[in-house]
Amino acid sequence: MQKDTLVFSLLQKELERQRNGIELIASENFASLQVLQAMGTVPTNKYAEGYPSKRYYGGCEVIDELENLAIERLKKVFNCSWANVQPHSGASANAAVFLAVMKPGDKFLGLDLSMGGHLTHGSPANFSGKIYQAIHYGVTQDGIINYKELEEKAFTEKPKMIICGASAYSRDWDYKRIREIADAVGAIVLADIAHPAGLIAKGLLNDPFEYCHIVTSTTHKTLRGPRGGIIMLRHDFENKWGIKDPKGNIRTMSQLLDLAVFPGTQGGPLEHIIAAKAVAFGEILSDEFMLYAKQIVANAQAMARALTKRGYQIISGGTDNHLMLIDLRNKGLTGKKAQETLDKAGITVNRNAVPFDDKSPFITSGMRLGVPAVTTRGMREEDMETIAELIDTVINNIDNPQAVESVKTEVQNLMSRFPLYPELTYE
């Protein structure tokens, strides 16, 4: 069969874009070469509906070994007792949790998207806001989770579930306080740790498993694996809410979650991606990953300091994790303009609403920055200072194409010192 030169030329073009640019999107990372290799393997040919030893297709004996390996490694990563590695994404993992514990129209409490939350935490454009009754809490004027508001709304609304977790929040979470509130109103606590999961895995942030009933995550952000989702429990439990399976039986939470993933929200699992998840979980268990996670935190804090020194307003005043949210209003600039101009300089960020934003989600007043990808490439604190200076140069020359092009050359020269996949080519 003739090689599809058009597709592979585009893949090579994307590889060069990643190699030559500074990747600061907080939800992106660079998976290892062996994770990439595992994704492009023969399990993509295999249908495996069901779970290990309980498949609806024959020929799954090796697939069962692969999926069990991924599960066992993930359980070690987070010291949990049960895990489902089949969700195709973090959003589908959250959808399965909703299906397992909620009925259409039930109330739940989550962080408002405009305050740093996620689409699946109750956005009216998302299934979570369309099928269920979403109640939201926010952050204080200082950019910290408003636990008082969370408590007041929980007692007033009596939600069935409380979600903690965010897509644009730079501080750690008080899971203990949230669990106390949930217990007082009889709610389930879901921790969505999609962003800080790699830091939590290495004990660098508070442990949600100690207090939260259910934990979900993606596998491709700070966990540095393939794109996908996971659901976990540290302690399986008989549910006191009387939630039943499709046959009317009251099950343990793990049983309900398994049924919610398959057949509830998905059909055949992506076993080639699950193989890549197993590879990534093995990497996370290494001593090298601990050094990597610590460097993420050090780099994020170094970048926050460097940007603050240059007059940038960071929401909450700094960061405990891998990201920061910057309010650009004191620079007289929108997030959209900043993102588009930085992109021309080879610096990839994403525009993002800031708390109490006065601009639309398509424009925004802020931008979100994260350091997992540049940390993967070997950058350290002194390099964060350099990146901050390059960002500042672009922002201060936002309507000067020559200056932006000059920064692009500097970016390419800088990133040539930190090779990405040197052994990989699609030509």
- DSSP track, 366-396: EEEEE-HHHHHTT--HHHHHHHHHHHHHHHH
Residue closest to 372 by CA, chosen among 279, 289, 309, 282: 289
What is the helix (H) or strand (E) element at residue 406, kind and residue range?
A: helix 401-415
Question: What are residue 224's phi and psi, to 5 degrees?
Answer: 60, 40
What is the DSSP code string of 194-241?
Answer: TTTHHHHHTTSS--GGGT-SEEEEESSSTT---S-EEEEESS--B-TT
What is the four-CA torsion angle of 36, 194, 281, 288, rounded to 10 degrees?
A: 90
Give residue 243's pLDDT: 74
Give residue 342's pLDDT: 98
Give residue 118's pLDDT: 95
Q: Is 46 exposed, middle or buried (CB count within 10 Å of its CB: 0-12, 13-18, 19+)?
A: middle
Give residue 222's pLDDT: 98
State pTM to two decimals.
Answer: 0.96
Q: Write out the catalytic residue numbers.
A: 47, 49, 192, 218, 221, 227
What is the DSSP code string of 157-200?
Answer: H--SEEEE--SS--S---HHHHHHHHHHHT-EEEEE-TTTHHHH
Residues in CB range of 196: below 8 A, 6 or more apart:
205, 222, 321, 322
Return d(Cα 163, Cα 161) in angstroms, integer.
7
What is the helix (H) or strand (E) element at residue 51, kind and residue range?
A: strand 50-51
Give residue 377's pLDDT: 98
**Token pair of 147, please?**
């636990």
Contact 353, 361 (CB under 8 A): yes
Domains of the chain: 5-30+287-415 (3.90.1150.10), 34-284 (3.40.640.10)
Give residue 250's pLDDT: 81
**For residue 70, is it left (φ>0), alpha (ψ between -120 and 50) or beta?**
alpha
Q: Give the strands of the sheet with 133-137, arranged side by side.
A: 82-84, 229-233, 214-218, 188-192, 161-164, 107-111, 133-137
Give residue 321's pLDDT: 98
Residue closest to 361 by CA, chosen among 370, 371, 351: 351
Q: Compute the half-sphere exposure of residue 134: CA atoms within 13 Å on the CB side of its CA.
A: 23
pLDDT tens, residue by residue, 235-269: 887 766 777 777 788 889 999 999 999 999 999 99
Question: What are residue 6's phi and psi, to 5 degrees?
Answer: -65, -50
Give residue 113's pLDDT: 95
Contact 235, 210 (CB under 8 A): no
Give residue 251's pLDDT: 85
Give residue 172's pLDDT: 98
Contact 128, 134 (CB under 8 A): yes
At 268, is the secondary structure helix, strand, or coil?
coil
Amino acid identity, position 264: G
Rg for the chain, CA atoms, rounded = 22
Residue closest to 317 by CA, chosen among 364, 307, 371: 307
Listed as ranges, residues in the chain with pLDDT below 70 are: 239-240
Give residue 185's pLDDT: 98
Amino acid identity, position 348: T
Give residue 246's pLDDT: 73
Residue closest to 415 by CA, chosen among 390, 397, 396: 390
